[in-house]
Amino acid sequence: MIAGLGAAGTVLVHSTDWARAAARVDASVADRVVEQGHFVNANNSDFPWTLFPAYASDVREGQKLSFAIADKPYTPSSAEGLDDYHCFVIDPKFVKDGMVTSVNIAPGNAKVVHHVILYKIEGAAVTAALEKNRRSAGKGWTCFGGPNVGSPGSGGNWLGAWAPGSSGGALPVGLGVPVKAGSLIVMQVHYNLANGSAPDLSSAELVLAPEGSSLKVLRTNLLFAPVEVPCAADLSSPDCNRDAVLIENGQKFGAISEAIPRFLLQGCNRTLADYANAGDASRVSTSCDNPVRTDATLYSVAGHMHLRGVDIRLELNAGTNAAKTLLHIPKWDFHWQGNYWFKTPVEVKKGDTIRVSCTYDNSTGNQPMIGDKPASPRYIVWGEGTTDEMCLGVMMSSPK
Ligand SMILES: [Cu+2]
């Protein structure tokens, strides 16, 4: 049995709902811009982004598909640590190939839901996902990093995502995320239990383009940089030992979590020596030039770090005369992970680079709260836990 299929049917999208959503989102984002002065572009001149949902006026009539993680709430738990990543399988019953033009994800319980990612499961991965679901009696499975059913990485299998600050909704006019007949959707929910557990019933709503629409393909790209953030130089607890942290993460999140920090250093031409002199650890920076592999049009950018991140930047062709800042959030807030849609989409070419740069504050006075106590300082590597860190850029683009 496949858990989680909610009511699916043909209904029209009502533009009044969208207008309300747009007003609410615009107001809240605008407030934060004023309060925090978050956004700076390369020349401090024109505000390069428009605020989501930029395309809400373009409400297309199509088929709406609604589903939830399951038919009853799921209560997260974690044998080790504070994070439960759970993958739920949904059969959307796609009988034909199609294009998704709107993705709305509704986190069920804000106390515990830290992100939701919808993955497209196609081809051989369908069998693997059904088998994992069967073995869990339809309850889904623990899934750090992704569904782990052999589907491609780097964002190619993303259908949509929600994280604090996301607003979701209609995609830009003329674009859609392709879905295949017979494919499944895995809904990965990251539950953080730093404030205890609580039942959740997250859900999502997709709009499919009417048959015969000719839309360009929109896809998600992920950009990475290594995360190597030592403790302040005057600390020497076991938690501040990188090797010990890697072993602990391996036990919590599987062997791949020990390998990822090494892959990131190699892929970005870095060594640990680049991160050796952290001082009081209040400003530890990292960056990586990610190659653009195909000519494409960029439509949106987003940044992702966890609780110790303070600054994130995405820059096209950094260090050249043609350098262009795509996104800069100089006062990072975990609740600011939404997509920023370019007013004018940005053209990129094969051979260009996109540098993702992150800065963290791992000083003793800036440790995240676990319940009512601050966490003890530790060496931070790339990891799935809320108290680990990531340095991730998320873009939506259309290949030429
Ligand atoms: Cu993360």
**What is the DSSP track for 165-232?**
T---EEPPTTEEEEE-TT-EEEEEEEEE-TT----B--EEEEEEPPTT---EE-EEEEEE---EEPPP
The last residue of a domain, from among 215, 239, 265 = 215
| Confidence tier at 167 by pLDDT (50, 70, 90) | low
Ramachandran region of residue 361, left (φ > 0), alpha (ψ -120 to 50) or beta? beta
Residue 138 and residue 160 share a domain: yes
Q: Give the domain CATH number at 230.
A: 2.60.120.230
Ligand 1 center to residue 384 CA distance, Å?
A: 6
Enumerate the β-bridge partners of residue 86: 142, 189
Ligand 1 center to residue 307 CA distance, Å?
A: 10
Look at the chain and report how many structural domains it folds into. Answer: 2
Asked if residue 2 belongs to a domain, the reply is no
CB 87 within 8 A of CB 143: yes
Residue 160 and residue 235 share a domain: no
Query: Which residue blocks in 254-395 are alpha helix, DSSP H?
Result: 256-267
Instruction: Tell me how far apart the alpha carbons of residues 389 and 385 are, in angstroms, rounded to a whole number.
Output: 7
Mean pLDDT of the chain, nearest integer = 80
Ligand 1 center to residue 219 CA distance, Å?
A: 19
Asked if residue 47 belongs to a domain, the reply is no
Residue 284 and residue 376 share a domain: yes
User: What pLDDT digit, counting tens, does each position of 350-394 carry?
Assistant: 999 999 999 999 999 999 888 788 989 999 999 888 779 999 999
Asked if residue 79 belongs to a domain, the reply is yes
To the nearest 5 percent, what fractions of the chain are helix, strand and coil? 15, 35, 50
Residue 91 and residue 153 share a domain: yes
In what helix (H) or strand (E) does residue 134 lie, and over which residues does it extend? helix 124-135
Enumerate the β-bridge partners of residue 348: 296
Max CA distance (Å), the chain: 64
Q: What is the pLDDT of residue 48?
A: 36
Q: What is the pLDDT of residue 16?
A: 24
CB 134 within 8 A of CB 2: no
Asked if residue 14 belongs to a domain, the reply is yes
Residue 170 and residue 264 share a domain: no
- Tokens matching residue 127: 């069998």
Asked if residue 46 belongs to a domain, the reply is no
The last residue of a domain, from among 195, 215, 235 = 215
Residue 239 and residue 169 share a domain: no
Residue 241 and residue 187 share a domain: no
Ligand 1 center to residue 49 CA distance, Å?
A: 24
Structural domain boundaries, residue 105 = 8-37+54-215
Ligand 1 center to residue 265 CA distance, Å?
A: 18
Tokens 């090494």 sit at which residue? 262
Ligand 1 center to residue 328 CA distance, Å?
A: 18
The residue ranking higher by pLDDT, 77 or 61, is 77
User: What pLDDT digit, counting tens, does each position of 118-157 carry?
Assistant: 999 998 899 999 988 888 888 889 888 888 887 666 677 9
Q: Measuring CA to CA, how many Å separate 350 from each of 157, 170, 397, 399?
A: 21, 28, 13, 10
Residue 168 and residue 225 share a domain: no
Ligand 1 center to residue 317 CA distance, Å?
A: 25
Q: Give the domain CATH number at 103.
A: 2.60.120.310
pLDDT of 90 strictly over 80: yes
| Confidence tier at 62 by pLDDT (50, 70, 90) | low
Ligand 1 center to residue 222 CA distance, Å?
A: 12
Ligand 1 center to residue 116 CA distance, Å?
A: 11
Q: What is the pLDDT of residue 372?
A: 83
User: What pLDDT digit, counting tens, does each position of 206-253 carry?
Assistant: 888 887 888 999 999 999 999 999 999 999 899 999 999 999 988 888
Ligand 1 center to residue 88 CA distance, Å?
A: 19
Q: Answer whether the bond into residue 53 is a cis peptide, omega within 30°.
A: yes
Q: Measuring CA to CA, how many Å separate 342 from each of 49, 53, 143, 281?
A: 5, 11, 33, 34
- Tokens matching residue 313: 């930047």
Asked if residue 45 belongs to a domain, the reply is no
Ligand 1 center to residue 391 CA distance, Å?
A: 8
Residue 98 and residue 189 share a domain: yes
Residue 70 and residue 33 share a domain: yes
Strand 175-179 relative to strand 216-217, pairing:
parallel
Asked if residue 378 belongs to a domain, the reply is yes
Residue 351 and residue 254 share a domain: yes
Residue 268 and residue 186 share a domain: no
Distance between first and last Cα of the chain? 40
Asked if residue 244 belongs to a domain, the reply is yes
CB 185 within 8 A of CB 92: yes
Ligand 1 center to residue 148 CA distance, Å?
A: 16
The last residue of a domain, from among 196, 215, 234 = 215
